[in-house]
Amino acid sequence: MTNKTEANVDPHKVVGTTGHDWDGIAELNTPLPRWWLWTFYLTIIWALGYWVVYPAIPLATSFTKGVFGWTSREQVVKDLEGLNTLRGPMTAKIEAASLQDIAKTPELLSFARAQGGAAFAVNCSPCHGAGAQGFKGYPNLNDDDWLWGGSVDAIHTTLQHGIRWDADKDTRSSMMPAFGKDGLLKPNEISASADYVRSLAGLPTEKDADLKLGQKLFTDNCAACHGETGEGNQDVGAPKLSDKVWLYGSDKATIIERITLGGGGQMPAWSQRLDSPTIKSLAIYVHTLGGGQ
């Protein structure tokens, strides 16, 4: 603040100037209203109130809990309860209806798809991808090629009991032998089998491929599960080999790798983790991605 002299008072107005002068332009010294100051003090008091009411100050091993003991965790639990109450009537309807009825009723279908989509994002997308597009070894759920069946009931069963999930006694299991690793087939036999598998799907084979040997080996070792023409068998989760969809890849090296190592993928049994309406919704969601049968 400068000392106020007559020269420091704006001649047209009754308000003083700060005494600062920029090329003849003076700065008027207009004081702030006092209520503004009180409002400012009030916000400070309000902030102090927050310290008292809410968890605020960190201590050595814990923190001040606030007078009402409010926690964000309890808030989440409360919010979730509220949400469940809100969804209660629809969830009850999903629980009561058969999968086929859900698919036929637009109201239930859209609810199940929304709920299933949300559950999918949390539980399934780590393996199957955000859009259920799958990855190498993890099936794409959009296409029409199903390992264990693509009807809504089959999908539901898969979801409930998982695949090769020993913790569930109803899980579905099958195991392709590790033909190479366990020495069941010699490398040249595996190569011939791989060539033959490619030919089943109409893919080009190498010039010196011994398809005769391949066919013989296939009939002896593979056809029991994969079928004589590679048509697959959903009862044992044996993939169809004559189509355009490949779980691990259709190049020869990948096929040799699969024959060598055998085995199969695993999927958790979700009935141990999710409630029944959610699993039903998931089945509907996956079925309506486009490939459901």
| Residues in touch with other proteins (CB under 8 A) | 1, 3-4, 9-10, 12-16, 28-37, 103-104, 106, 109-110, 113, 129-133, 140, 142-145, 240, 243-245, 288-292
Minimal distance, residue 29 CB to other proteins, in Å: 5
Minimal distance, residue 252 CB to other proteins, in Å: 19
Residues near 109 by beta carbon (within 8 Å), at least 6 away in sequence: 102, 103, 284, 288
**Contact between 64 and 57 (Cβ < 8 Å):** yes
Task: Choose between 22 and 41: whose C-beta lies nearer to other proteins.
Answer: 41
**Contact between 56 and 50 (Cβ < 8 Å):** yes
Q: Of 29, 269, 293, 286, whose CA–CA distance to 141 is shortest? A: 286
Minimal distance, residue 130 CB to other proteins, in Å: 5
Minimal distance, residue 184 CB to other proteins, in Å: 29
Task: Choose between 244 and 273: whose C-beta lies nearer to other proteins.
Answer: 244
Q: Is the dihedral of CA 120, 121, 125, 128 positive or negative?
A: positive
Q: Of 287, 280, 278, whose CA–CA distance to 119 is shortest? A: 278
Q: Rounded CA gap, 32 and 102, in Å?
A: 66
Minimal distance, residue 167 CB to other proteins, in Å: 31
Task: Choose between 39 and 272: whose C-beta lies nearer to other proteins.
Answer: 39
**Contact between 109 and 101 (Cβ < 8 Å):** no
